[in-house]
């Protein structure tokens, strides 16, 4: 876990306040202002998990069907809406669909002492 000072270095991108993402919610981020979210964060069983918005099935395709919609209706799995692959929110492992056994790319996160959420560049 990074310290507050480390989290404010250029290697870390500030995303939002950590408490803005509730249990079983997801939120996408476009830190490089590319016009499309390059990463997303899920809170699952109390823990925040960061993932690159890149499905392993087809060349890193974006996954959400609308803004911040990365979870299934039951909010138990991350879903790629292109072809329905389902991933565990905590490990990124694909457990259902065309890329079963592959994983999402993890993004390291840290919450600083002020409750701000950062992602490692």
Of 43 and 57, which CB lies nearer to ligand FES in the complex structure?
A: 57
Residue 98 binding ligand FES, by CB under 6 A: yes
Residue 78 sits in the site that holds ligand FES (CB under 6 A): no
Q: Given the structure tokens 């911040």, which residue do they identify? A: 68
Distance of CA 2 to the CA centre of its chain: 19
Q: Does 77 bind ligand FES (CB under 6 A)?
A: no
Closest contact distance (angstroms) between CB of 52 and ligand FES is 13
55 part of the interface to ligand FES, by CB under 6 A: yes
CA distance 111 to 114: 8
Q: Does 82 bind ligand FES (CB under 6 A)?
A: yes
Choice between 13 and 98, CB closer to ligand FES:
98
Cβ atoms of 80 and 55 closer than 8 Å: yes
Spatial strand order of the sheet with 106-107 comes to 26-29, 39-44, 47-52, 106-107
């Amino acid at each position: 876990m990074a310290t507050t000072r480390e989290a404010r270095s250029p290697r870390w991108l500030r995303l939002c306040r950590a408490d803005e993402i509730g249990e079983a919610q997801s939120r996408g981020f476009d830190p490089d202002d590319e016009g499309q979210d390059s990463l997303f964060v899920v809170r699952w069983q109390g823990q925040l998990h960061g993932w690159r918005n890149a499905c392993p099935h087809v060349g890193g395709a974006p996954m959400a069907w609308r803004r911040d919609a990365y979870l299934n209706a039951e909010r138990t799995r991350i879903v790629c809406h292109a072809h329905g692959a389902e991933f565990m929110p905590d490990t990124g492992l694909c457990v259902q669909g065309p890329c079963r056994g592959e994983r999402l790319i993890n993004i390291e996160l840290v919450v600083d002492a002020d409750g701000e959420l950062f992602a490692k560049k």
